[in-house]
Amino acid sequence: MKKLNVALVGLGFGGAFAGIYKEHPDVGELTLFDTSKEVLKKTADFIGGARLAESFDEILADPSIDAVHLVTPIPLHADQTVEVLEAGKHCACTVPMATSLKDIRRIVSAKRRSGKNYMMMETTLYTYQYFYAKAMKERGEFGKIQFMRGSHYQDMAGWPDYWMGLPPFWYGTHAIAPMIGMSGSRISRVNCFGSGTMAEWMVQRYGNPFPVETAIFEFENGLKGEATRSLFETARVYQEGMHIFGSDKSFEWGFADGDDPIITTAGESNGRDRIMVSEVTPMPNYYADLPEELWHFTIGDNYDPLNPQDSLRMGAGAGHHGSHAHLVHEFVRSCIEERRPWIDEHFGGNITAAGICAHESALRNGEPVIVPKF
């Protein structure tokens, strides 16, 4: 069976994926590229060598490369994704898919014209916690899902320049995606408020006055979910949380990102209230569907010692709770099997557009904004 030749572009956060591609049994040649020669060399050395590209254009022009995974700065995602698809290659891109509805449409159209795969590499949808909640849903343990909540608290004051002043919900995908996944529906409408104030120099860059945004999303199937994203000047320990409230059981993320979740089970009534039993529940590792070569990437501490980012260290599971190996496997297998990946342009488009529309609503002081369908 043919192996997939993959190029990984952008090796900051992207560095954590290099070893996974290198060890994936269905990947042939791995090519790495970063505009920083130092980062490129260090990453290649860390994984024991890979082919190095001199430029992004070299990757686009190389017919031997089948697929490109972009982990570059946010403002580059849309243009680079369109270029990869137009070069006739499959494209995976880290979050967010884009920062405007127009750019999401460009990607959807480039994907359709190319006939290649697009996947948005949303980490929260492959965490131990998401797998666990999904299994609870499949077993009917929630009863009726009544309400959902998502959170992403991360004070990103020291991140690269393009982050400074970023509208919180332009990077709200980690708070939004698990709610859409668990709803089995799509977000169709949002009301959002911005809150707080931040330094004027941060306001200037994107014309965004808010360090925190909080939104109520409406799903096509009638469910509602609330999500909050804090990005600057807000003291809160890091957490990318998912909270699912059912009629029989509820799942709530631990206080800090690495804490075990709390599962509440509703019992008989004591005459007035139903008796609720809450248990802190350690998560199992859902590694068995992965090739054995990748199992070790779902446990342990840190597969990218070059990156100081917290989420690559906190909790067990190689950063982001074991998700990286699952993301790579789904992208690679979907290309080989010539099928859509789970987080395709429609799902990724809804996750990203819901955040873009939430920020639009916040700028209009909470007016409802319809989320277009992609």
CB of 139 to ligand NAD, least distance (A): 28
CB of 277 to ligand NAD, least distance (A): 33
CB of 336 to ligand NAD, least distance (A): 23
Single residue of 5, 6, 12, 217 touching ligand NAD by CB under 6 A: 12
Interaction pattern, residues 318-337, with ligand NAD; x per rule: CB under 6 A: --x-----------------
| Strand-pair category, 274-280 with 262-269 | antiparallel
Residue, CB closest to ligand NAD: 12
Judge whether 11 and 34 are in contact, CB under 8 Å: yes
Select from 331, 310, 329 the least CA-distant residue to 320.
310
Single residue of 9, 59, 119, 353 touching ligand NAD by CB under 6 A: 9
87 binds ligand NAD (CB under 6 A): no
- Side by side, the strands of the sheet bearing 51-52 are 51-52, 27-33, 4-9, 67-70, 90-93, 118-120
177 binds ligand NAD (CB under 6 A): no
Single residue of 4, 5, 6, 10 touching ligand NAD by CB under 6 A: 10
Interaction pattern, residues 110-149, with ligand NAD; x per rule: CB under 6 A: -------------x--------------------------
* Ramachandran sector of residue 271 (left: φ over 0; alpha: ψ -120 to 50; beta: rest): left
DSSP tag of 111: H
Single residue of 29, 42, 58, 74 touching ligand NAD by CB under 6 A: 74
CB burial of residue 265 (10 Å; 0-12, 13-18, 19+): middle
194 binds ligand NAD (CB under 6 A): no
Interaction pattern, residues 31-70, with ligand NAD; x per rule: CB under 6 A: --xxxx--x----------------x--------------
User: Alpha carbon 36 to chain centroid distance?
Assistant: 24
Please state, in angstroms and rounded to a whole number, the distance separating the CA atoms of residues 186 and 118: 18
Tell me the three state secondary structure of residue 374.
coil
Single residue of 46, 73, 220, 256 touching ligand NAD by CB under 6 A: 73
Single residue of 5, 31, 72, 117 touching ligand NAD by CB under 6 A: 72
CB burial of residue 333 (10 Å; 0-12, 13-18, 19+): middle
Output phi, psi for 337, to 5 deg.
-85, 0
User: Alpha carbon 350 to chain centroid distance?
Assistant: 13
Single residue of 76, 101, 216, 266 touching ligand NAD by CB under 6 A: 76
- Enumerate residues 146-165 that contact ligand NAD by CB under 6 A: 160
Judge whether 59 and 365 are in contact, CB under 8 Å: no
CB of 91 to ligand NAD, least distance (A): 14
Select from 15, 23, 69, 10 the least CA-distant residue to 341.
69
- Single out the segment in contact with ligand NAD by CB under 6 A; choices: 27-35, 270-278, 280-288, 340-348: 27-35
- Enumerate residues 240-299 that contact ligand NAD by CB under 6 A: none
Would you tell me which residues interact with ligand NAD (CB under 6 A)?
9-13, 33-36, 39, 56, 71-74, 76, 94-95, 123, 160, 320
